[in-house]
Amino acid sequence: MLLEVEAIRGGYGETDILHGVDLVVGEREIVAIAGTNGAGKSTLAKALLGLLPRVAGRIVLAGRDITRVAAEDRVALGLGYVPQVANVFGALTVLENLQVVPGVRDAAGRIAEILDAFPALKERRRQRAGTLSGGERQQLAFARALVTRPSLVVLDEPTAALAPTLVRFVFDLVQALPAQGVAVLIVEQRARQALAIADRGVILDQGRAVLSGPAADLLADPRMAELYLGHG
């Protein structure tokens, strides 16, 4: 497995939000994390990225224990991240947003590859990110995550605050990542749509993984759909 998470606990201050979560992500696999508001989905993403103040348990990426590795060093080990908000620098151009990503090997060549993969960004590479459309900004957030050549990208609510017309576009971007050699762990409020493009899913409830398995099986389970997946 590319990512192995064992009995992760943690939170803020003295309060645990996660209570012993286990999950795995295989190479070139999409795994969706679903659950109701407050289930601990984004907290789990922060734990994996080294952004949670207090974490116990074990996180292994590509055979290496990264539980105590600093957040910035996890990027160099193959972990990419698209945060829910503040995922681009609005005052910088598209090109500058890519140039300021730290730790990129052969930066000029890699940025050229990324811009070729995102033609809309290439056309607007001299344009300030703050003037891009919502879909273009999200493309830039993905491009920033991919420029470091990650083996796994963690997406935290990538369709948050997007117009409905852009939601399908973003899910198409996610679905294309495994073909580029990138595995995906996606935390998403639109659980049904996320599971529809995922290989496997994990249902969180009050900081615990209450169910996991093939995404199609989770979608087909009437009780799980009613309790945890909502109607969107």
Q: What is the domain partition of the chain in residue ranges?
A: 3-78+150-229, 86-149
Which amino acid is located at 48 in the chain?
Answer: L
Q: Are 53 and 16 in contact (CB under 8 A)?
A: no
What dotted CATH number matches 3-78+150-229?
3.40.50.300
Virtual CA dihedral for 186, 188, 59, 104, nearest 10 degrees? 50
Q: What pTM, to 2 d.p., does this model score? A: 0.92
82-101 average pLDDT score: 92
Residue 152 has a pLDDT of 98
Q: 10 Å Cβ neighbour count for 64?
A: 11
Largest pairwise CA distance in the chain: 51
Question: Which residues lie across from 55 on neighbouring strands?
Answer: 10
> Which residues, including other chains, have CB under 8 Å from residue 116's CB and lie 6 or more apart?
122
pLDDT in tens, 6-65: 999 999 988 899 999 999 999 999 999 998 888 999 999 999 999 999 999 999 999 999
